[in-house]
Structure 1
């Protein structure tokens, strides 16, 4: 069975995602679609609008066959680490191809960019750091440097458009992992990544859809008909992210822990006083973010730092996981076709695939052995993700509907 991999967040699943799914299957002649999806915390450091099971259910009813959770440290990270974790996850599952959307729509062009980045990684990192210290944004800095290095003068916008950036990192990650996965790209259509207006043919960005929901506007023409009831039910029961609760929890964590946060991932040395000052003067999440923003710290970097602070993500643990890769994968949802695919690739998987956590300790012991560093690292990954779920349930409008131990029994199938 040929399988195509999709790297996703589905926050929420919309018509653009449906287009991507259908084009991916068509362009790769795949029989099965496998989505690696961020869990409760996303690539830009924000909590998801809906919990990971609700978003997985949306994907399933829309036609995705397998939904796997991208482990937390990678899901809430910058494009290079996010991409590497997603590619490692797809490779572990045995997919044949990876299809992603891009503004370019030209795989050869993006591959040249990825090769340029791979072959000049050290010098690009050094020059990017210098430009960031001067207040240049990360995409613009990266674009300027790579354009100058390009022998055929690739346009700088290729390196600065958001889906191109991720696509280039996917291609670089495939090369880093020495993967045989075949990459394919399709042109992104409709509204841009950050646009808040509806695009053509009922395709809007997830950002625009979330904004409409905040403003109590209808999104019925922007989501597939099979997905809408799931969204409406989640809203009706209060199973949606509440920004004010997130803000309050962040303030509590800053007041409690800012002076002892130097060992946390992405928390800058010497930022303790600034954190406290921003927290004491902020009356909303937006004010907190604005109070922390600087030439050296972009909004996205601050959001990831705050998520790390709230979740207590230890720097050494995150770096160890990045070095060793995911220690197991969590199956969120699967169709009957997806189950057949997973069964057919069972012997090829190098790390455990967990349907729910009811037997995870026994599975990890059997796979790694009890007295091994890999087993201890897998437990640390597990503990971090369990903490992420418990904290996320406190961020729902109606926190009483969020089961804090749902990881141990939930597994969606059709």
Structure 2
């Protein structure tokens, strides 16, 4: 019989937060995460390239360029000097577009102490290599623990202090298994935890990153269908089957399917696919309504991660022989000149599959034999 000591729940262990945090990227999400770390008690240096943004943060505790109307906690020190931002940093958050991650990691390699953990808050896959952002960072920072912070988060809501949850994922070394409360994941989690921002810990870096990369592409698909006049049934189907595509890719790359059902997968996917506050969803809505790509967002050059990831995600999926038909449809419309109507009609008339997949059924779809039904008129 087990003793009472074996069955009684153990009290939570204490982990030491990092005292000084450098946040690289003074856009909306970088500023929001800097606010979280500052509210949690860390000394925060926020680096960005725009001196006007840095001055606004330092002088007014505001970032009107990216988070208009939102007051920031006092004490965030903004700078355009990368070395100054990193001087003495015990942890680093990288919050920039995914295509710039390799360059910034190479820049900081000589500026941070050995063993300083780096958490990526950029979601994507490097087009040239097929690497997730974690592997990109490890290439340039081999002597540093590399992890990610990911979850269903909009920057403005986070900065305003709305209740928010996210996953902190780092791979666990043997030492981390023996003393998990001293692991970079645990220490980063408590560093970023406040009464409004709740963190969860994962050791499945791959699974968390796949969710973050793929959800942007699925959000564009949901937006396209919404903009074209389809209703909530369609969106629910795309979200659910999109999550299945996430699971397959995560598993093929060594991640766990169950990770995709958590905050960084299902949570982030649901949020991104349900609001036009997401640039990915918004781009899809505009394209689905017939707006030419160059006229989307009022003609402004807005970076949409899912637009870039539509190529890198599908290239990677093809490489590891994973079928991702929704992501392929988005790629075809965005980058290969495919007609949105025809592309999604073909998506819906693919062979009928079993759910669960283990049943192994595959049936010819009757709609594939006849004329395809056009998309409904947008009202």
Q: With structure 2 as the length reference, what TM-score do the two structures score? A: 0.28
Instruction: Answer with 1 or 2: which has the greater Rg.
Output: 2
More helix by share: 1
Greater relative CO (CA pairs within 8 A, separation 6+)? 1
Q: Structure 1 length normalisation: TM-score?
A: 0.26
